[in-house]
Amino acid sequence: MLLLGLTGSIATGKSTVSTILHSAPHKLPIIDADVLARKVVEPGTPGYKKIVAYFLPTTPDLLLTPSEQDSIGGGGADSRGRPLNRPALGRRVFGDDPERRRDRAILNGIVHPAVRREMYKEILYYFCHGHWAVVLDVPLLFESGLDVICGAIMVVAVSDPAVQMRRLRARNPHLSAEDAEHRVRSQGDVRQKARRAETRGDGGGVVVWNDGSVEELEKEVGAVMGKVRKRSPQWWAWALLLVPPLGSVVVLWNLFQGWRWRRRWDSEQRREKAKQR
C-alpha cells in the first residue's frame, strides 16, 4: 500500500485537494492529522491534561467559557473539562519570537506523539482492507519527520505569497494582518516544500500548484495522480497484502529511501548556506 503524504501550508488549498482525492474518481481514504490532533486533545484525554497543566497558568482564556461553548454548539458542562479555546492557544504559540517558538515546541511535543499513534492504527486498518493507497494529510509533514515513511509526497503550493495571505484572511476574518503573517511563517515557505518534494524524482514527489480556480485544481490533481499511480498500481497493493514477507521488505525499503531523500535534502541545504556566507 502506498502512503501518499499530502502537505502544503496554511491557505494553499490542501484541504480542497484532500477532498478531491477522497472523491471520485480517486476515492482514497484520508488520514487527517488535524482531525486526529483535535481528537487527542479532547477534554479528559492525556494530551488535554498536559496542555492545561502547562498553558493554563499563563493563558487565562485557554478554555472556552460555558457561553462560548453554547455559541459553537458545544453543549453544556462536561465533567471531563471545558474544551480548549483554540484561537487563544494559537495566539500563544504562533510567532517567531523565542518564547512562542519554545511554547510551540512544547505543544508539538504533547500532540505529535499521540497523533502518530492514532495514525499508525489507521494505516494498519486500511492496509488490511486492501487499499492501494492512503493519504496522510499532514500540514507539517517534513517538520514532523513523517515524510520518511511516505512512498510519495504531494505538496499543494501557491506561487504568489500574497495569494496565500489573502485566502487566509478571507477564511479567518478575525485574524489581524500580523496574526495571519505569524501563522503563515510558522508553517514554513511552501515553495521550499515544493522544491523538497521534487528532489524525490518523478512520481515520488509531486507539486500541485493552486493559483487558479477549483476546476483548474481538479485537473492539476488528476495529472499528478497519473504519475503517482504509475509507481504503485492496485495489483501491487494486493501483492503486498497477500505476501507478508514482501510487504515487510517494501516497508524497510521505503524507510531507507525516505531517509536517503531526507539526508540528500539536508546536504543540499548545508551547501547552499555555505555558499551564502
Distance between CA 133 and CA 149 in Å, rounded? 13
Tell me if the pTM is above 0.95: no
For residues 46 and 15, state if they share a domain.
no
For residues 163 and 220, state if they share a domain.
yes
**CATH code: domain of residue 125:** 3.40.50.300
**Phi/psi of residue 36, nearest 5 degrees:** -65, -35
- Burial class of residue 30, CB neighbours in 10 A (0-12, 13-18, 19+): middle
Region at 95 (left for phi over 0; alpha for psi -120 to 50; beta for the rest) = left
The answer to whether the CB of 10 falls within 8 A of the CB of 168 is yes
Please give the pLDDT value at position 129. 85
**Three state DSSP letters for 114-149:** HHHHHHHHHHHHHHHCCCCEEEEECCCHHHHCHHHH
Please determine, for residue 77, whether its predicted confidence score (pLDDT) is greater than 70: no
For residues 248 and 144, state if they share a domain.
yes
Number of domains in the chain: 2
Q: Which domain holds residue 111?
A: 36-130
Which of 3-12, 59-68, 186-195 shows the highest mean pLDDT? 3-12
pLDDT tens digit sequence for 199-257: 887 778 999 999 988 999 999 999 999 888 887 776 766 777 777 777 778 778 888 88
The answer to whether the CB of 5 falls within 8 A of the CB of 152 is yes
The answer to whether the CB of 32 falls within 8 A of the CB of 180 is no
- The whole-chain average pLDDT of the chain stands at 87
C-alpha cell at 168: 487566509
Domain boundary among 95, 130, 165: 130
Please determine, for residue 69, whether its predicted confidence score (pLDDT) is greater than 90: no
